[in-house]
Structure 1
């Protein structure tokens, strides 16, 4: 007997969850809040089915978009009538709109890490979201970046779940940029695409490069730096501050998930040419130097 999804945080009420005919439907799930209605789920299952049989009209505030990493295994997924191919050798990144028809069948045993995000938080039209979802594929530059990011979030959820809300902004920004990338590729170089969305995607793809300057960003989009500053939305904050904030968010996640890396290595990995500059910026943003933050958030097993 199918059970409604309303008992699972992050799942829309109309989503049903049940066992498959080839399994007992055993599963265990941990649900962690990301803030503003977004959730992260860590799932282990044996013989699990989930889905929605028809389109559900939803406002942007009620519509939930999910992105997940699924381990290789005996599973099948269709979304909006199209089959999503599974990689038999490595984890697969999938994404879907819970208000659209979808059907997941995990006949064997497997696991997943999934983020459930309100459509409104992506600040994209549903047409762009669906175009991106329909054309998501491993060849996109941000595909492995978001896949690895979600896997790291799963590790954070296991060791220090209280930190997850602080990482929500970077998670949503990566997912948004991936959707834009997939949608842009699907429709080609159409003149109507949003320039700021394209610029944000470019920043996300080159964020860890130290020489990511306004001049370089502007040149990549055939405009002047002055034009770039003029069209850059005030809601994003100053351009340099936006880049620094995104770098610090990634670095803070790496401090937790890559304990073998030194502070200097993490600084260089995330676009900071000088470790002292990284430490200064980190302290200003989070109230303590990166070394103290790492010690204070270290899992007991790692101490």
Structure 2
């Protein structure tokens, strides 16, 4: 029975019509043998023909509906994949003919290949992002513990030299050099903080966001606020999870400042039962999220998504032209 169901649609229709035609011929012959007048026979033949046509129509319609039903599985799989469900596959059907079954198998092979490519891309992104984070932390430590300390000592020595110098002109030059050294020291400390803020390790994510907001507001003049819901304490948020949330905030605020020209930015971090959620909202120009990857390659949307995915979190972004942007990231409190 199964080979018949999986026969091509043309063969099914031809076979069904042949059976109906044969049945009609047999019925006509049997009725002709038992009839002795022409008029009743013609009526009977017309009735047989009408029944045969009706049966053929119903059977053809039923076969076409059964044959097209497996195509619904193809449509369902395509819709699921388009919505981001890359695990979805075309389900096999005993009603599918050979050609439809072959199409389903081919689509499944393509989806399997796509899943493998995504897994490789995810692994590569994890390697690149992890290596980048380690390098940033290393460079930040070197800047803070080595170069910054050397510059601080240099500024102190120049200050002492200015105080002890008996020549006013030479002392003024030393004061200028000291000011340059102090500016360089501040820039190095700011660079180290931007690459990997020590406050994130020392005081936690809430304090790090407060400092990010304060420094950005001082630099740009924007109104940037931080709302902390749940007491502001995240003791069970891992360093990896805290780093991910901070990077999302840093990238989102930077994008708003560089591209959106907002009047203000609001960050809101919430402690939930099993996760920590961060929302960044700006009232700037907004943008087309679908075109962001091609028109604004420097926005780092892919990097933010990958960072959040690496710790098992969720990431979303909503934006429309003229309606501002909302970025949401949530990471498990047990993220490692």
TM-score band w.r.t. shorter chain:
under 0.3
Which has the bigger relative contact order, CA under 8 A and spacing at least 6?
1
Larger Rg: 2
